[in-house]
Amino acid sequence: MPKDTVAFIGLGMMGMPMARCLARAGYPLLLRDMDEGRTNALCTELGARPLESDSAGEAGALITMLPNSDIVEEVLMAQGWADRLPQGATIIDMSSSVPTRSRTLAAALAEKGLGYLDAPVSGGVKKAEEGALAILVGGAPDLMERWQSLLGAMGGSTLHIGEAGAGHAAKALNNYVSACGLMATVEALHVAERFGIAPEAMTKVLNASSGRTNTSENKVAQFMLNGTFASGFSLKLMDKDLSIAAELARDLSYPMQLGEHGIALWHRIAEGVDVGADHTEMYALMAQEG
Ligand code: NAD
């Protein structure tokens, strides 16, 4: 059976390798990014076509991999890309968006005769390149089933979390835990160094012991101690995710007593960095805190 044509908007650090996975799996692609040069280069590389007003009607699914909910809503609703899709098409928002806004968006799209899944991802650029992301899906189970192969081309695991918005809620909470783990790891490394324990040695301790985190295993040696700070996930995007988690907790009247301080620290540091700063730069930036 021929594969559905897939429209893909947002060809950044994550979107580009994800689109490459879909091309490898044989999906005909219609690509779009506000950076036209990037769109054209990827179309040439993958033998894909740019997503245009007159080609959008061919798409069975439209994937968004954009910075935040404001931009997802602008692209789908204000710019009219949702209206250009055929009836019965599915919009899959793989960005890390605001869960309550995703619910509202799902209802608005249903009125237009379009399906909606939120399917944010975890694993970063490396797993995106390998097609091994963890994909966290919110929405109707039968709709997820319908697009299982498509998601499987980008993901190592696809977890159904709950109704529309549940994937985005789970993603924000995951990144809250991840950021707190990063900050705790970085603080431990700086204190250890002041006591005369080299960060390399302290990292080995953590990785051999119960204090190991995703940061100690996959970020400290790879991106922090060597000063490359090139994980491909920006400090400001993580800051956005922490704001989503904090807002969710507030909306649900559950105070994050531990997280309150960590999130405030991340916000303060994020205010002072360039938009391109990598989140692993927290290692250097937190050294200046002490
Ligand atoms: P990015 O900034 O590298 O890419 C975003 C892309 O969207 C850019 O190419 C940009 O030009 C494009 N864009 C912005 N506004 C647009 C518009 N109005 N129309 C069309 N294109 C537009 O970001 P990223 O790191 O790829 O992250 C994308 C999403 O995935 C974010 O929600 C982020 O939180 C999430 N995420 C990122 C990572 C990571 O490791 N980088 C991991 C998991 C989830």
What is the residue extent of each domain of the chain? 6-163, 170-289
Neighbours of 107 (CB within 10 A): 11
> Cα separation of 8 and 98, whole Å?
20
Distance 6 CA to ligand 1 centre (A): 18
Q: Check: CATH 3.30.70.120 for 170-289?
A: no
pTM (predicted TM-score): 0.97
* Residue to mutate, 126, 182, 235, 237, ligand 1, most ligand atoms under 8 Å from C-beta: 237
Read off the pLDDT of each residue in 130-155 and give the average, rounded to a whole number.
98
Catalytic member of 171, 204, 219, 240: 171
Residue 27, both tokens: 């999906």
- CA distances 180 to 20, 26, 175, 177, 232, Å, are 32, 39, 8, 5, 19
> Cα separation of 279 and 185, whole Å?
14
pLDDT in tens, 170-200: 999 999 999 999 999 999 999 999 999 999 9
The pLDDT of residue 5 is 98
Active-site residue 171, yes or no?
A: yes
CATH superfamily membership of 6-163: NAD(P)-binding Rossmann-like Domain (3.40.50.720)
Using alpha carbons only, give the angle 45, 48, 51 rounded to the nearest 5 degrees: 125
Confidence of residue 162 (pLDDT cuts 50, 70, 90): very high
The pLDDT of residue 11 is 98
- 93 has which bridge partners? 64, 118
